[in-house]
Amino acid sequence: MTQTQRYAEAHRVTQRIASELSDIDETDEFRRSLDFLEQQWRNFRQKTCEVATPREPGEPGKRRSAAHNDSDSIDELKDQEMSSDGDSSEDKEVEEVLAGAPTIRLNPKARKVGRP
């Protein structure tokens, strides 16, 4: 698919969404829908993903939004880590999530392909 075709398709879909939004009569519903779409677009642009974290065995998982913003610097992240308490409930939640996470093993003999 060429750049022109992608642009035309994105333009068509955007116009359809704008048309549907303009048909909403109630101001509050229109504003909520518009805010929802803007939030979804921000999440998409910031590559936000949702991570399911189960709380108790048998209890349905809750979704938590996790994102990495380009504006976050390493120093800010380190400051946030140092300012948090050592044994907070958030640390326990992270440990629970990491306990259920898959183990990743790298193949040292694998050939490197593509850009570095």
Residues 86-107 pLDDT 10s: 556 777 787 877 777 777 777 7
Q: Which two tokens stand for residue 23?
A: 């048909």
One-letter amino acid of 38: E
Residue ranges of domains in the chain: 3-78
pLDDT at residue 83 greater than cutoff 60: no
- Mean pLDDT of the 66-93 span: 59
Q: What is the pLDDT of residue 12?
A: 94
Distance separating alpha carbons of residues 48 and 106, to the nearest angstrom: 25
Distance separating alpha carbons of residues 58 and 11, to the nearest angstrom: 44
Give which of 75, 94, 97 is closest to 85, Cα–Cα.
94
pLDDT tens digits along 4-55: 999 999 999 999 999 998 898 899 999 999 999 999 888 888 875 555 455 5
